[in-house]
Amino acid sequence: MSTLGIWASAMSAGFVATGGTEVTSGGYKYHTFTSAGNFVISSGSNTVEMIVIAGGGGGGGRRSTTQSGGGGGAGGLAYNSATRTAGTYAIVIGAGGAAGATNTIGGSGTNSTFNATTVVGIGGGGGGPGVDAGADGTGGNGGSGGGGGGRNSGTSAAGTATSGQGNNGGNSTSQQGGGGGGAGAVGGVYDAGIPRAGDGGVGSSAYSTWGSATSSGQNVGGTYYFSGGAGGGGSLTIDTGLYGSGGRAANTGGGGAGSVRANLQVSEAGFSGIVIIRYAV
């Protein structure tokens, strides 16, 4: 065994921690939190990794039977690795933002936190509302930004992301909403060739091993994603944007879809976040 391996084994040997749903896989012990709780280290010290994922933003509301809402941005995904010692560390799981009512931007997702301000995932931005020309259909800022709301003319700007936690939403230059940003990509814009409203940005697959070990995230062909953006609203003849992988399920941090104008489908609330902690055993 290398010197580094001996040192790591010595650190973990006397390390005892509890909290959340616990599972051991691939040489790591994982603690998964889908609701508020405490990560308690009763003895020892060890290098502890974590992902802290906030709640996603809600989809933007339509404007009557005309312009559709933008998709909600994904909750921010914050990664941290540090040596942790004995103590009690509070975990808070962010809720998804509220669905936007008619003419209303979607609600922002709530932050998820480890030990209050030590590690914070920023809630996703809400999707912008459908608006008339001249009105403000801008998507909300957040971990990932919400998509711009549909409009008669001009551009509804997308919300912006928090650096290192997500991506911007997609602008809207049509009556269809832009897609919310995801942890892995920016939100999409209206595609006239399909035609389809803006797709949600794909989530992050960087922690697929974590998702597989804990049965968390969204499994897409054996790859696990977190924090996907939501699609913007379309119409009866134009498809609503697709969800980015890593969205539309509780405890993924996914954004909520924007409203659809022609059939008066309401927008969707964002999805709750999650905290996963792991360390070598």
- In this predicted model, what pLDDT tens digit does every residue of 11-42 receive, in sequence order? 456 999 999 999 999 999 999 999 999 999 99
Instruction: Give Cβ neighbours of residue 4 (< 8 Å, ≥ 6 apart).
Output: none
What is the reported pLDDT for 6? 41
pLDDT at 13: 63
pLDDT band, very low/low/confident/very high, at 166 (cuts 50, 70, 90): very high
Q: Do 270 and 97 touch, CB atoms closer than 8 A?
A: yes
pTM here? 0.94
Given this model, what pLDDT does residue 114 score?
A: 98
Backbone angles phi, psi at 7, to 5 degrees: -65, -45
Q: In this predicted structure, what is the pLDDT of residue 102? A: 87
Q: How confident is the model over 216-241, as pLDDT tens digits?
A: 999 999 999 999 999 999 887 888 89
What tens digit of pLDDT does each residue of 61-103 get? 998 777 999 999 999 999 999 999 999 999 999 999 999 998 8
User: Given pLDDT bands bounded at 50, 70 and 90, which one contains residue 46?
Assistant: very high
State the pLDDT at residue 8: 47
Per-residue pLDDT, 261 = 67
Say if CB 276 and CB 77 are below 8 A apart. no
Q: Omega into 195 within 30° of 0, i.e. cis?
A: yes
Q: Which residues contact 170 (CB under 8 A, 6 or more apart)?
A: 70, 71, 147, 148, 158, 178, 179, 180, 181, 186, 187, 188, 189, 198, 199, 201, 232
Q: How confident is the model at residue 147 (pLDDT cuts 50, 70, 90)?
A: very high
pLDDT class of 146 with cuts at 50, 70, 90:
very high
pLDDT at 3: 43
